[in-house]
């Protein structure tokens, strides 16, 4: 039996609560489907800083590099906001992404029919949305130089090289081939040189994918179309900061940021994390939506462990449990509001049923 080593970085705020549910799902799937998953938990973000003075301790990074995949909760929080830049939890996350070579961040956005009324948008607008944001993750403003801050000036630089654009563009086109064969590349080429290079590179790569349609949109107009005509989109390809912003915007389509999972790929080790942050005001109250984290675990099964059947099973369990009306308090359309742990329990019970068409014996769920 192959041993799959999964490094778990719960992080801060609601991170540990949602990751607990995701890891329990992986444990169940490993047990029932006879896979050897070995979990190793390490401090990261604010927790890393508290443990060692570094948001990405050397031992955490070494464990990540030596593993089959990394599952991360979220990092950050008010206690660490005043620290110097290199000690902030977020800078540890950026170093981790870079060290793992993750340049393509896949953020799928699908609407659960049962929760179509959770969205603040009208149901006829969001119904049927099924898009994939491919966010460039290793370049752009997040990593550009020069970069500096003094008393009266702050500098960041958006820079892209053609190879950086090309590699993430290929990921987007390959993904589109498996989907509805439309890539919408989002940039600001009417103003930014980095975006003009982006657009030219996307067009050059597009020639290798004649079966995939490509279109270009400016980011300001794309932000508007995302909430007025979301079903238009299939694969949305964009640079780092635009992708960060558009993905939180896309979260309103499904009704909660708590839903969205992500997979960061391109290097030797994949990194999986929900799109949301550490939501400090929700921490420790058993109210955080664990689905972004659990669905990220499904992406881990699919992309890093190549266990497609198990990934689909976990996604089906999520869909069915939501279909029965269960949801955390952020899901306004849920008819049965439950806590983080109970929602996780119900998803695991459904996984077990889907595995064996039975009921999981050791699990007693709900009130
Ligand atoms: P956030 O994503 O933590 O929260 C935004 C809003 O969404 C809040 O109202 C929050 O309550 C809600 N929310 C988020 N996740 C939820 C969930 N699972 N269930 C229910 N509701 C949820 O963003 P923020 O408040 O801007 O940032 C808080 C901290 O998180 C900051 O320190 C920020 O840097 C950090 N952050 C980390 C990551 C990451 O680790 N990948 C991502 C985004 C933000
Ligand atoms: C995300 C987050 C991160 C980002 C922060 C915490 C560094 O917002 O994963 O979306 O901007 O990439
Ligand atoms: Mn973000």
Q: What is the mean pLDDT of residues 122-132?
A: 96
Final residue in a domain of this structure, among 254, 275, 310:
254
pLDDT confidence of 364, banded at 50, 70, 90?
A: very low
Is 114 part of a structural domain of the chain?
no
Positive or negative CA dihedral for 274, 52, 61, 59? Answer: negative
**245 in a structural domain:** yes
% of the chain surpassing 90 pLDDT: 93
Is any atom of ligand 2 closer than 6 Å to the C-beta of 315? no
Q: Is residue 217 within 8 Å of 225, Cβ to Cβ?
A: yes
Answer yes or no: do 268 and 346 share one domain. Answer: yes
Q: Which residue range(s) make up the domain with 217?
A: 120-254
Does the pLDDT value for residue 359 go beyond 60? Answer: no
* Ligand 2, atom nearest to 74 Cα: 6
Which band of pLDDT confidence, cut at 50, 70 and 90, is reported for residue 367? Answer: very low
Q: pLDDT over 70 for what percent of the chain?
A: 97
pLDDT for position 115:
87
Q: How far is the CA of 244 from the centre of ligand 3 (A)?
A: 5
| Number of domains forming the structure of the chain | 2
Q: Are residues 138 and 225 in the same domain?
A: yes
Mean pLDDT of 232-258: 97
* Confidence (pLDDT) at 168: 99
Average pLDDT over every residue of 45-53: 98
The C-alpha R_g of the chain, in whole angstroms, comes to: 20
- Looking at the structure, do residues 139 and 243 belong to the same domain, yes or no? yes
- Does residue 130 sit in the same domain as residue 219? yes
Closest CA to 261 of 39, 57, 101, 25: 25
- Shortest-distance atom of ligand 2 to CA 93: 7
The mean pLDDT of 348-353, rounded to a whole number, is 95
Question: 125 and 246 in one domain?
Answer: yes
Residue 343 inside a domain? The answer is yes
C-beta 90 within 6 A of ligand 1 = yes
CATH code assigned at 164: 3.40.718.10
pLDDT in tens, 160-196: 999 999 999 999 999 999 999 999 999 999 999 999 9
User: Which numbered atom of ligand 2 lies nearest the CA of 247?
Assistant: 10
> Does 239 share its domain with 292?
no
Same domain? For 147 and 226 the reply is yes
Backbone angles phi, psi at 128, to 5 degrees: 90, 0
Ligand 2 centroid–CA 359 distance in Å is 39
Residue among 65, 75, 69 nearest 43 (CA): 75
Q: Which residue has the higher pLDDT, 135 or 358?
A: 135
Nearest alpha-carbon partner for 335 in 118, 173, 61, 179: 118
Closest CA to 301 of 23, 18, 82, 20: 23
Residue 213 included in any domain: yes
Tell me how far the alpha carbon of residue 222 lies from the centroid of ligand 1, in angstroms: 23
**Angle at the Cα of 174 from the Cα atoms of 268 and 232, rounded to 5 degrees:** 125
Both tokens assigned to 152: 């009266």
Verify that 151 and 89 share a domain, yes or no.
Answer: no
Residue 188 lies in a domain: yes
Q: Is residue 103 part of a domain?
A: yes
Residue ID of nearest Cα to ligand 2 atom 9: 275
User: Does the residue 249 lie in any domain?
Assistant: yes
Q: Answer with the one of 208, 234, 254 that is the final residue of a domain.
A: 254
Does 293 sit in the ligand 1 pocket, CB within 6 Å? no
**Confidence at residue 358, expressed as pLDDT on a 0 to 100 scale:** 56
Tell whether 289 and 220 lie within a shared domain. Answer: no
Write out the catalytic residue numbers.
Answer: 142, 188, 220, 244, 248
Residue written as token pair 């590099």: 65
pLDDT score of 363 more than 60: no
Same domain assignment for residues 250 and 274: no
pLDDT, mean of residues 335-346: 97
Distance from Cα 138 to the centre of ligand 3, integer Å: 14
Confidence of residue 87 (pLDDT cuts 50, 70, 90): very high
The per-residue pLDDT for 356 is 77
Task: Print the SS3 string covering 173-213.
Answer: HHHHHCCCCEEEEEECCCCCHHHHHHHHHHHHHHCCCCCCE
DSSP 230-252: GGG-SEEEE-HHHHHHHHHHHHH
Q: Is residue 113 assigned to a domain? A: no
Which of 220, 254, 288 terminates a domain? The answer is 254
Residues 100 and 135 in one domain: no
Same domain, 233 and 125: yes
Q: How far apart are CA 110 and CA 211, in angstroms?
A: 24
**Is the pLDDT confidence value at 113 over 90?**
no
Banded model confidence at residue 151, pLDDT cuts 50, 70, 90: very high
Mean pLDDT of the chain: 96
Look at residue 362 in the predicted model and tell me its pLDDT: 52
């Amino acid at each position: 039996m192959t041993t799959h080593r999964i490094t778990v970085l719960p992080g801060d705020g609601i991170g540990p609560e949602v990751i607990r549910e995701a890891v329990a799902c992986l444990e169940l799937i490993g047990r029932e489907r006879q896979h050897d998953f070995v979990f190793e938990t390490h401090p990261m973000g604010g927790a890393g800083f508290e443990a060692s003075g570094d948001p990405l301790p050397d031992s955490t990074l070494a464990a990540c590099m030596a593993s089959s995949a990394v599952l991360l909760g979220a990092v950050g929080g008010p206690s660490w906001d005043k620290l110097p830049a290199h000690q902030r939890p977020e800078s540890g996350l950026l170093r981790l992404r870079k060290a793992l070579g993750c340049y393509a961040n896949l953020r799928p956005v699908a609407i659960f029919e049962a929760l179509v009324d959770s969205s603040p948008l009208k149901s006829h607008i969001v119904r049927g949305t099924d898009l994939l944001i491919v966010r460039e993750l290793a370049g752009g403003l997040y990593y550009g130089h020069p970069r500096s801050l003094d008393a009266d000036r702050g500098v960041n630089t958006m820079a892209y090289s053609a190879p950086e654009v090309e590699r993430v563009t290929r990921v987007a086109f390959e993904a589109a081939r498996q989907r509805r064969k439309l890539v919408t590349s989002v940039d600001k080429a009417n103003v930014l040189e980095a975006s003009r290079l982006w657009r030219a590179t996307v067009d050059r790569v597009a020639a290798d994918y004649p079966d995939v349609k490509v279109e270009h949109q400016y980011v300001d107009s794309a932000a508007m179309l995302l909430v007025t005509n979301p079903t238009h989109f299939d694969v949305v390809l964009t640079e780092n900061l635009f992708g960060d912003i558009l993905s939180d915007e896309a979260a309103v389509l499904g009704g909660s940021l708590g839903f969205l999972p992500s997979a960061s790929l391109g290097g030797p080790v994949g990194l999986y994390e929900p799109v949301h942050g550490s939501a400090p005001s929700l921490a420790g109250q058993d109210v955080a939506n664990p689905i972004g984290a659990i669905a990220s675990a499904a992406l881990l099964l699919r992309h890093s462990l190549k266990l497609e059947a198990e990934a689909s099973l976990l996604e089906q369990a999520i869909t069915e449990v939501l279909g029965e009306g269960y949801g955390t308090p952020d899901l306004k359309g849920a008819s049965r509001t439950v806590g983080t742990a109970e929602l996780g329990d119900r998803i695991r019970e459904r996984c077990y049923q889907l595995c064996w068409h039975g009921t999981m014996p050791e699990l007693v769920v709900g009130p």
